[in-house]
Structure 1
């Protein structure tokens, strides 16, 4: 019988330090992450540690060590052989947030490599991979060699993150989800940044959202999260900046999957909704500045077709047909204005939940997504409407889904008389 290896620390001691508001020493914290990843520290013990972290926080150096330990649990990619700068973007997610789709090819059209490792949606925020899988033939799973070749030849890749990146995060994320500790800023920051730093990008721009449809509703907590992540990136040698952006109202006019792809293509063709264009341009400028191109004419690349060429090359490289018809819904239901006036409010979260109930999202990781399901907005806050004018259209494969979606939208929008004061889409820029 083989004698069990002797562990250098005890999980209970580490939990007590954090429970009592102390800072966990580096060696103990690194051990805790490693021991949990290999199954020595039990879920119950890590859950206690996560709750203590939620209640008592972590110092900047603790978050750095936690992030680094999560990176060390798996592989770390490198794109140093590409011969061009790499820059990535991460969004904390929202309703109608399809910005990655036009942004990656736009930035790539300037000779910068954009390795965009993305995920699938869960709940009311859609996943980038789910949107792109609306395109016939497009595939999310690429090997590291395929990804590197596409970055070299095309410049942009949007694909699924491999299981080898920060496996500690995958295990801890699932635990946080069922223990009421998702909101702990040190754990959110280390989760996001461990994957992004392990990805091997030179620089990173964060789109941290606040408001009704955002993960962080409160602007002060969103700001704290942004500052924490910018500090983590900087401490790890990745040039990092963040934009604090408003998610009180859905972004753009399309909420779903296929319809968000359609809207993204409109932006790449030089059109599209003003807010989607504004945020795409703002993030592209940030990314290109970090890649050494501070004077890049981003608007020109949208207007002259360069960004569209990049998009088509990116989709083709992953087996997709950029000219194919996108999935269309079998059933639609349009809600009209009960009276004339000005649209004063369209709250993001209820629209996200309604789209989810129509089939555009999933309740469990294994659930399928209905690519044709979603909502198209005909108006946005500040627009004037006549009585009977269309406000928004619900799309689904089964009309039986409409009642519950409409329930979610009860009191989510308003028509009044007063002009709407517009909150800036980009509230603040955060740097190290």
Structure 2
């Protein structure tokens, strides 16, 4: 049986939480491998809603090992708060079923402040971040000055590391005309977090290798979407980590041979949160209808999502870059009742037709979508659990999407409830 990687195939918010939860019943281990608590997953199980920001979706299932990998940047206080909130909802989280990589980078208050300062300083340079310190923490990681989780286990060694960190950050704060951080302030912030998170800290790469060799099925869970990848997305309007499937190996400490099936999650239309290009965005009544019917508000931020038609060009591109084996098409029911549905099948750039998303920021801002119009359906797809329950035209739409993106549809989701899923190919069996 293949280990499975789940990645968002658009700009995030595709409904990965439900799909990961649905798949986690067949997995023994669920791993989060990149991002931070800027991403959010909403799970609806037996009528109970769980909102996750940092923890893997598998935590709500008993008998599973949940792992936060080294590719994740961790706000220790936010992690402790999320653990406690889920406990209040009856989710049993212990150091036995939750492990956090000892070499994961920490997000501190100075990262959050810097994130907010940059985002609010000049309207022309806004990226649309959540201001939770994700980007600055990744900067410190690659700058080799970060504090890591394992450092909390040896508090006497922290002060020299904090001094090195503040050499960089206090210079920035002087540039903003702000008071400098003291070593003692950051030390107290870290020391207070240590007892809350250290029980969960482990060499997770070793645990994953042991579980893989023992034959356990591993589900690797990505955050955000491939179009927000720092290399392959709509740069600079991207997140600060690699969100494509290849990061599952790097961000969890397993070899690429441990990955079998890559499942990409895509909505039957398109949304994005924050700034940046969005070729198929709709600002008219149809766009508002998609947002209202799809309840398009960010799990973490509450921000309304921008909505538009499905962009088959961008989706085909991310399928290739991530090596996607099959697509889980979500929120098909949101399209119910539309007389016609449009799908972007190409772009026009300076009068020339192209069939890929260009890397240039300027070109991305200038491209115009070329649409194919598909007949809609008046029946309902909501709650369908088999092809027989779908209107004929809805099936035609799914099949046309499959053709346009050059990738098979592995399953179709027709509501937030995990059981409302049409399975075409089982990623763990394929």
Instruction: Looking at secondary structure, tell me which structure has more helix per residue.
Output: 1
Q: Same fold (TM over 0.5)?
A: no
Q: What's the TM-score, normalizing by structure 1?
A: 0.29
